[in-house]
Amino acid sequence: MTNVYIVGAGPGDYELITVKGLKAIQKADVILYDRLINQELLDEAKEDAELVFCGKRPDHHALSQTTINHLLCKYALKGKVVTRLKGGDPFVFGRGGEEAEELAKRNISYEIVPGITSGIAAPAYAGIPVTHREYSSSVAFISGVNKKDSDEDAYWERVVKSMDTLCIYMGVKKLPDICERLLKHGRPLHTPVALVQWGTTKEQKTVTGTIEDIVEKSRRIENPAMIIVGDVVQLRERLQWFEPSLEEDVNVVASSVG
């Protein structure tokens, strides 16, 4: 019998969770959930299920990762069915691997339930395919935040020179630095860039530009947001289907004022 389910809740839209993920919520005695999940998913929990908030913001963690690991083990060892509900996919910048390691060390049975990661879903809802036969045959999902002791120059050189499309998580505050590194390692100023905030939700906002002007254009964009770099961003003009661009919103306001 599985004691712990490490579940990807998807990128934000309530309907984008998997069937298996939804069943794990419904059967759980305890749900440890993150900040970026759709809160409506918690309505699917049993009436007597214990809900534990484990949310993390860039500047504040409600619970440390060590505490979360401890709680997963504590509840599971009490015989509870535990669902660890994480935004996106638990193994894509979600620390799901660290949690699974802790459970494995204690011989606690667990299942990984993959979810749709925002690196694919947010661009898709913005009308940007991350690959396309005419524009991109490779894509990398990378973090805008690296370990303090890592060689950032070598890291960025490797991904910039080897991939057509870059999907960057947790990079909004570091956007000026990211643009500098893209230029340093060979991307031209006119390289298309998009930022998608709150992808797949009704609050979604998208802004597009180039390495040269995206920092200025995206001043209204805040976390959580995906950064997409590459020629595929140009396809938004033809494939946009979910929400108007931020540029269009600005133009509408300007024309109404005029």
Q: How far apart are CA 158 and CA 50, in angstroms?
A: 44
**pTM for this entry:** 0.90
Task: State whether 101 and 158 are in the same domain.
Answer: no
Domain annotation covers residue 243? no
Query: Can you give the pLDDT at residue 2?
Result: 87
Is residue 226 annotated as a catalytic residue, yes or no?
no
Q: Catalytic: which of 89, 170, 217, 226?
A: 170
Query: Can you give the pLDDT at residue 246?
Result: 58
Structural domain count of the chain: 2
Q: Catalytic: which of 56, 80, 173, 174?
A: 56
Query: Can you give the pLDDT at residue 57?
Result: 64
Q: Catalytic: which of 34, 163, 205, 217?
A: 34
pLDDT digits (tens, 9 = 90+) for 140-196: 999 998 767 678 889 999 999 999 999 999 999 999 999 999 999 999 999 999 999
Is residue 205 annotated as a catalytic residue, yes or no?
no
Query: Can you give the pLDDT at residue 149?
Result: 64
> The domain containing residue 73 runs over which residues?
2-111
Task: State whether 84 and 99 are in the same domain.
Answer: yes
Task: State whether 18 and 44 are in the same domain.
Answer: yes
Among residues 69, 92, 111, which one ends one of the domains? 111
Is residue 173 annotated as a catalytic residue, yes or no?
no
Shortest CA distance to 76 belongs to which of 109, 45, 98? 109
Among residues 111, 137, 158, which one ends one of the domains? 111
Task: State whether 79 and 183 are in the same domain.
Answer: no
Q: How far apart are CA 131 and CA 165, in angstroms?
A: 7
Domain annotation covers residue 178? yes
User: Could you report the average pLDDT of every consecutive run of 10 residues in the chain (258 residues)?
Assistant: 94 97 98 96 98 78 90 97 98 96 97 98 98 98 81 91 97 96 96 98 96 97 97 97 63 40
Task: State whether 185 and 217 are in the same domain.
Answer: yes
Task: State whether 94 and 31 are in the same domain.
Answer: yes
Burial class (CB in 10 A: 0-12, 13-18, 19+), 177: middle
Domain annotation covers residue 242? no
Domain annotation covers residue 258? no
Query: Can you give the pLDDT at residue 250?
Result: 41
Task: State whether 180 and 128 are in the same domain.
Answer: yes
Per the rule left: phi > 0, alpha: psi between -120 and 50, beta: everything else, 200 is left
Residue 172 belongs to a domain with what CATH number? Answer: 3.30.950.10
Residue 69 belongs to a domain with what CATH number? Answer: 3.40.1010.10
DSSP letter at 136?
A: B
Domain annotation covers residue 180? yes
DSSP letter at 252?
A: H
Burial class (CB in 10 A: 0-12, 13-18, 19+), 71: middle
